[in-house]
Structure 1
Amino acid sequence: MDQSNTSSNPAHASTDASIRIIHEPGIYVLGMQVVDQSELSRFLTDHGVSWHSDSEIPAEVLTETAGRVCYMSFARPRPGGNSAYLEHIKESGHGSVFEHGVWNILITGVSRSLTHELIRHRAGFGFSQLSQRYVDESVAEYIEPAIIANDPELHAIWQNAMQHAHSAYVQLAEKLNAKMADEPDKTARRKNARQAARSVLPNATETKIFITANARALRHFVEQRGSRFAEPEIRLLANRLLDRLQSHSPNLFGDYERDPLPDGTVEIRTVYRKV
């Protein structure tokens, strides 16, 4: 599967018997920054300089502004505008200014296995994830690895395992809820039942996670998880996320290129690693 040109919505899904199988993550860019031009102009006026970025993308303007503050280089900027300026930042490795560009992103259609790896990226990230204690998992959605999905025999084994796990969860949740019938608080009763029943759910269970991250942290994620050595599901997510980031902010993420791998997936690379 080509990982560079597919929609960010989880449209690649199928329903087999009692479970829904998902093969594509969903990515929703819910929040980006806004530049207060009046405050920026006031700062420049107070310091006797005139400057205007040629980028209209807030994250690019703010990262350039942060970099220029370090050396007060507003009066005589180098030619080439924002693109050239951020390219120089990448070349010099002064990636701290990239921490001032921030995105709010909701990710769906990924497995709990993937999010166990995702939340290791602590620096520059904030996470809020769906709770299996409060959310009913009886609506079954699971993420199937491509290497299994592409083999009918392996798919049948995997599907059978998911159906059995799902059935066990539903039965346990129902019986545990009945077992705690004396608990007057319905919310507490459901939570206690679900938190015990979830112990049988597999790593493949679909989850949703809201992330807030800065450009430097996102670059690190894309480089680490877009590598050929990364797990395939999270490498797919890195590619889909890069699609959106390059669309929203080409000057911050346009240096990344992709190479096809023998298994049909795609690796992400850049000459500006670990900025």
Structure 2
Amino acid sequence: MANTDSVTVLTEPQVYLVGKQIVATLELSRFLTDHGVSWNSDSETPAEVLTETAGRVCYMSFAKPRPGGNATYLNHIKEVGHGSVLEHGVWNMVLTGLSRSLTHELVRHRAGFGYSQLSQRYVDESIAEYVEPDIIANDPELHAVWLESVKHSHAAYVKLAEMLNQKLADPAAAAAAMLPPDADRTTRRKSARQAARSVLPNATETKIFVTANARALRHFLEQRGSTGAEPEIRKLANRMLDVLAKDSPNLFGDYRKNPLPDGTFEITTPYPKV
């Protein structure tokens, strides 16, 4: 993060793992007892336990599990491509330090994902931060051009928001903007910001809450961690992989990170498209 006069410049995304599943152990035990079997997973990670449980339900293979435990079981699931089982493992993350360009790509991942993103209509972007591409940040001349453009857009937003707030205080102008005659300051500010945001660049930083299952996340990592992906979203994919592989090595530990000339990493796996 760098503070440059009136704007803050970011180059690295952040991933906060804020929510995970729990296993209702008493109910799982009741199910097993009702069906005359006894079984315990050797994993303590809820997503790993639940995906293994889901897979074993398909064949009722609780009584005589293969040796090797959860890691071997889930590795076999990936080998045979039984990807629907992985849809039962779910994580909640808050992602920050992302540009609007990136989230336009991120939200194209629909199946298995849920999103809640920062609203530029309600949030004052006069204190916005901006995400600079590495290829620009690493070149002083390019950086100067980029920074000047961002500063200009930022200043224009602040000025427009101020002028629009003043304008909408006039009942006639408020009526022309389809605001109720008794519109309060909050409503007027929202209307001002939603118009002023039109000058903000794609580099404007945003925050997004993401909920996704293991299968969808694997697809994301493989698509956005590839050499053909845009560098910023490849950075995010790598950061997410670090968090997910630490939390659930049996579901994400098969991935490898290969260094690329631009300083990012390609994500590969022997089990693609599970």
Write the mapping of 1:89-104 to structure 2, written as runs, cut at 5 A.
89-104=77-92
What are structure 1's unaligned runs of at least 5 residues? Answer: 1-12
Q: Could you tell me whether the CA contact under 8 Å between 1:260 and 1:267 is conserved in 2? A: yes
Determine helix, strand or coil for the equivalent of 1:138. Answer: helix
Task: Quote the Cα distance in structure 1 between the aligned partners of 2:14 and 2:163.
Answer: 34
Aligned residue for 1:243?
242
Distance 2:262 2:96 in 1: 24
TM-score by length of 1: 0.95
Q: Which residue of 1 aligns with 2:180?
A: none
Deviation at 1:263, TM superposition (A): 2.0
State the 1:258 CA deviation: 1.1
| Cα separation, 2, equivalents of 1:263 and 1:32 | 33
Aligned residue number for residue 30 of structure 1: 18
SS in structure 2 opposite 1:233? helix
Give me the whole-angstrom Cα distance separating, in 2, the residues matched to 1:220 and 1:257. Answer: 15
How does 1:209-220 map onto structure 2 within 5 Å? Answer: 209-220=208-219
CA distance in 2, matches of 1:114, 1:17: 25
What is the SS of the residue equivalent to 2:12? coil
TM-score of the pair, normalised by structure 2: 0.95
2:177 paired residue number: none
Runs of 4+ in 1 over 2 A off after TM superposition: none
Q: Is contact 1:21–1:142 with CA below 8 Å preserved after alignment?
A: yes
Choose which of 64, 70, 81 in structure 2 pairs with 1:76: 64
Q: Deviations over 1:87-114 (max 9, x none)?
A: 0000000000100000010001100000
For 2:253, the aligned partner's letter is G
Does 1:58 pair with 2:46?
yes
DSSP-derived class of the 1:103 partner: strand
Instruction: Report the Cα offset of residue 57 of structure 1.
Output: 0.4
2:8 alignment counterpart: 20
Residue equivalent to 2:186: 187
Equivalent-residue separation in structure 1 for 2:19 and 2:76 (angstroms) = 27
Residue in 2 that maps onto 1:269: 268
Superposition deviation, residue 82 in structure 1: 0.2
Q: Is the 8 A contact 1:66 1:97 kept in 2?
A: yes
Range 83-92 or range 262-271, more displaced: 262-271
**Count of residues in correspondence between the two structures:** 263
Deviations, residues 138-180 of structure 1 (Å, cap 9, x unaligned)? 0030000000000000000000000000000000000001000
Match of 1:48 among 17, 23, 36: 36
Tell me by how many angstroms 1:64 deviates: 0.1
Q: How far apart are the structure 2 equivalents of 1:180 and 1:274?
A: 53
* Partner in structure 2 of residue 225 of structure 1: 224
2:156 to 148, 168, 175: 168
Map of 1:10 onto structure 2: none
Q: Distance in 2 between matches of 1:62 and 1:25?
A: 30
Structure 1 contact 27–241 (Cα < 8 Å) conserved: yes
Distance 2:102 2:206 in 1: 9
Deviation at 1:186, TM superposition (A): 1.3
Stretches of structure 2 lacking an aligned partner (at least 5 in a row): 175-182
Structure 2 Cα separation of the partners of residues 24 and 151 of structure 1:
17
Whether the 8 Å CA contact 1:18–1:140 is kept in 2: the answer is no
Within the candidate set 105, 112, 119, 1:117 is matched to: 105
Alignment RMSD (CA, Å): 0.7
Q: In 1, distance between residues paired with 2:17 and 2:208?
A: 12
Counterpart CA distance in 2 for 1:263 and 1:154 is: 16
Deviation at 1:262, TM superposition (A): 1.9
Q: CA deviation at 1:185?
A: 1.6
Match of 1:145 in 2: 133
1:265 Cα offset (Å):
1.6
Q: Which string of whole-angstrom CA distances, capped at 9 and with x for unpartnered residues, describes residues 36-90 of structure 1?
A: 1101100000000010000010000000000000000000000100000000000
Is 1:255–2:243 an aligned residue pair? Answer: no
CA–CA distance in 1 between the matches of 2:135 and 2:220? 23
Aligned to 1:129: 117
